[in-house]
Amino acid sequence: MPPVRGYRALVLALALLVVGAQLISVGPSQGFAATDRVLILSTTIRGGLSSTEANEAAAKGLAVDIVDPTAWSAMTAAQFSAYRAIILGDPTCSGAYSAAAATATATTWEPLLNGNVIIVGTDPVYHQNNHSGAEKLTRDAVDFAVAQPGKTGAYISLSCYYAGAQAHTPVPLLDGIEKDGFTVTGVDCQDSGHVVAVSPAIVGLTDADLQNWQCSVHEAFDKFPGSFTVLAIDTSHASTFTASDGTTGSPYILATGDIQSFPLSLRPRRLCDRGFRHCVLDLRDGSSSGRRHDSSFRRLESQRDRRPRGASDNGWRPGDGGNHSRRGLRSRLAQQCERCAAGHRLCAADEGPP
């Protein structure tokens, strides 16, 4: 039997090994509040602390906790809610088993999400060595998820989890956001990603960044909650979803939260240049002078009415109806006018020819 002192040292060493297997942290531990930390499930990334997801979170000045499935499964709702963001990254085109712990606890942690959430149906880390746009997507997604202090956001990559799935396959990983609220279909390794909105969730991301990865898209959404906005679609995959710029395709990048999204067809710069910033007060108080802008409203309504029934920019799903009301169009224009008046940077971006 070993001496007492040696025995205690052995027990301590074993305990440290167990804890070390469950939790890896990066970033200074002193001076960081709980909300200045990001939580990552270890099996959904590659490279641990050197992974793109962890690296980007640290670059934003946040501490990073990487936990294994055992530690994740033991966490309480209070522990999850203490984080600025929860990240399920891309384990380089892995199967759904990589996120098994997150799926089993989805109803514990996902209802706590009250910040920015972005979900992507692809495996950007797997492709980042051959395409810079793939890494940019990951870093943009992490930045968006952590952008709201005092709230808990999330970046969730579906990697290749549903690459071969049939249409309308349920996604239990997302059941904590809305029970049976998401279904996907495998899209047979398409390369035709197309950005359909201007948003800080994908800052500066272009079609070129999303295309020609030699499998840019693996799964697309055929059903999702109305609180989510479509940011990118796969134009090669048949779908009745019609984006604001008139393109059709299957949605595969979704976001909710402070997305500040502008449909491309509205072209914020044109709205500013044509003096819409002067009508914001009319729109707010409902005065009759606002009606002088009816020609513009009619133009937008015409765009709306050309969409197939069931198509919309937000919360699209087949059979929803989804047409924007006139009041909704006025509200959208009011928001754009406010941004123009405030000199919002998106108003200075010309998103297409007149």
More confident residue, 317 or 139: 139
Mean pLDDT across the chain: 75
Render pLDDT for 282-331 as a digit per residue (tens, 0 to 9): 333 333 333 334 444 444 444 444 444 444 444 434 433 333 444 555 55
pLDDT bucket at 191, cuts 50 / 70 / 90: confident
What would the pLDDT profile of 245-265 be if each residue is shown by its tens digit? 888 999 999 999 987 766 664
Task: Note the pLDDT of residue 188.
Answer: 75
CA geometry: angle 167, 98, 238, nearest 5 deg: 20
Q: How would residue 214 be classed by pLDDT, with cut points 50, 70 and 90?
A: confident
**Six token digits for residue 145:** 């998820």
Q: Which amino acid is at 1?
A: M
Lowest mean pLDDT among 17-21, 39-43, 124-128, 279-283: 279-283
24 burial via Cβ count (<10 Å: 0-12, 13-18, 19+): middle
How far is C-alpha 308 from the chain's CA centre? 26
pTM of the model: 0.70
User: Residue holding tokens 């960081």?
Assistant: 32
48 neighbors 66 (Cβ within 8 angstroms): yes
Q: pLDDT class for 348, splitting at 50, 70, 90?
A: very low
The region of weakest confidence among 74-83, 263-272, 284-293 is: 284-293
Task: Please state which of the ranges 12-26, 39-53, 155-169, 245-259 shows the lowest mean pLDDT.
Answer: 12-26
Cross-strand partners of 174: none
Mean pLDDT computed over 59-63? 96
Distance CA 208, CA 265 (A): 19
